């Protein structure tokens, strides 16, 4: 696991966007796993800017969704599908055909979960998966005590998550779905490169537990320690609880240029 400490969210977004651009230069049809929320927005903005400037061709890129609400009607503006189309697919100049995600409106939700795992495998697997982290260490919607071997499945949202997400539904708690489909931790770990971006002091404890703590289901993100190619990008605030912060700065400053991110 590589930990990169950056000055702020903007610098983190630029760093990760360049890693994605380098991947697309090597593999134009790479399958990029994306996350929603405010944290990854600087990544998508920086990558779209590179496309506009002609620094990278993303026309053959494919986009895969991390999670989706259950029960929202097709086309609902706050569905994660609509969010990814709006924030990633359209700014990159891609068509909706380049996008794949779980069907949160399916009658048989478990079958939709199984079908999405199969679709990811049939597509050759995710080349680079972006991740955020919750204050409790969750990734995707894999809340604490999720199985490290878990596959794409339905999960019940916590009361805190429902309250946090109410801002996207005019503050109305009753409008927020109670269930989601999420890639499981086992599914996430099958991506070739995992990149986690965390910003702000509120994420500092979760970052420290993920990077320096034991692998434990109570901190789902700690399972990333089991993967062979993980990059954790954090701003100074999110890095503030890391005991080995100086070591991480030293190793990144002395990293051979040929290694890349």
Tell me the CATH number at 116: 3.40.50.1360
The answer to whether residue 211 sits within a structural domain is yes
The answer to whether residue 173 sits within a structural domain is yes
pTM summary value: 0.95
Residue 217 belongs to domain spanning: 2-6+66-80+98-255
CA-nearest of 58, 56, 9 to 37 is 9
Opening angle at CA 40, ends 124 and 202, nearest 5 = 125
The total of structural domains in the chain comes to 1
Q: Which of 68, 87, 117, 138 is catalytic?
A: 138
Strand pairing class (31-34; 62-65): parallel
Q: Which of 45, 78, 114, 136 is catalytic?
A: 136
Active site residue 108: no
The answer to whether residue 218 sits within a structural domain is yes
User: Across the 261 residues of the chain, what is the mean pLDDT of every consecutive 10-residue run?
Assistant: 97 98 98 95 98 97 97 89 95 94 94 97 98 95 95 92 87 93 98 98 97 97 98 98 98 90 86
The answer to whether residue 70 sits within a structural domain is yes
For 110-115, the CB contacts below 8 A with 24+ separation are 110/153, 110/154, 112/181, 113/151, 113/152, 113/153, 113/154, 113/181, 114/151, 114/152
The answer to whether residue 220 sits within a structural domain is yes
Q: What's the rounded Cα separation, in Å, for the pair 131 and 126?
A: 13
Opening angle at CA 50, ends 45 and 56, nearest 5 = 135
Query: 218 near 183, Cβ under 8 Å?
Result: no
Strand partners, 241: none
Residue 112: CA count within 13 A, CB half-sphere:
19
Q: Which of 67, 68, 87, 103 is catalytic?
A: 67
pLDDT of residue 14: 98
The answer to whether residue 248 sits within a structural domain is yes
pLDDT in tens, 52-89: 999 999 999 999 999 999 999 878 999 999 999 999 99
Q: What's the rounded Cα separation, in Å, for the pair 13 and 38?
A: 12
Residues 6+ apart with CB under 8 A from 3: 211, 232, 234, 239, 242, 244, 248, 252
Active site residue 138: yes
The answer to whether residue 24 sits within a structural domain is no
pLDDT of residue 209: 98
Active site residue 229: no
The answer to whether residue 190 sits within a structural domain is yes
Q: What's the rounded Cα separation, in Å, for the pair 34 and 62?
A: 10
Q: Which of 14, 87, 103, 143 is catalytic?
A: 143
Residue 164: how many other CB atoms lie within 10 Å: 15
Q: What's the rounded Cα separation, in Å, for the pair 192 and 129?
A: 8
Look up residue 258 and give its two tokens.
Answer: 């040929």
């Amino acid at each position: 696991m590589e930990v990169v400490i950056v000055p702020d969210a903007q610098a983190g977004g630029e760093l990760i966007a360049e890693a994605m651009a380098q991947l697309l230069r090597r593999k134009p049809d790479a399958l990029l796993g994306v996350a929603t929320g405010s944290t990854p927005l600087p990544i998508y903005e920086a990558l779209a800017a590179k496309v506009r400037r002609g620094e990278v061709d993303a026309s053959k890129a494919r986009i895969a969704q991390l999670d989706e609400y259950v029960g929202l009607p097709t086309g609902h503006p706050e569905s994660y599908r609509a969010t990814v189309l709006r924030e990633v697919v359209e700014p990159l100049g891609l068509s909706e055909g380049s996008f794949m995600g779980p069907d949160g409106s399916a009658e048989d939700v478990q079958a939709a979960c199984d079908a999405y795992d199969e679709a990811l495998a049939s597509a050759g697997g995710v080349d680079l998966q972006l991740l955020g982290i919750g204050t409790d260490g969750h990734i995707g919607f894999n809340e604490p005590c999720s199985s490290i071997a878990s596959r794409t499945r339905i999960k019940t949202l916590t009361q805190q998550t429902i309250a946090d997400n109410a801002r996207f539904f005019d503050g109305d708690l009753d409008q927020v779905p109670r269930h989601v489909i999420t890639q499981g931790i086992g599914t996430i770990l099958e991506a070739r490169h995992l990149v986690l971006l965390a910003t702000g002091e509120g994420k500092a404890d979760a970052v420290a537990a993920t990077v320096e703590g034991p692998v434990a289901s109570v901190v789902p993100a700690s399972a990333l320690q089991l993967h062979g190619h993980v990059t954790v990008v954090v701003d100074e605030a999110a890095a503030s609880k890391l005991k080995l912060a100086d070591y991480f700065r030293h190793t990144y400053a002395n990293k051979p240029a040929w290694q890349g991110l």
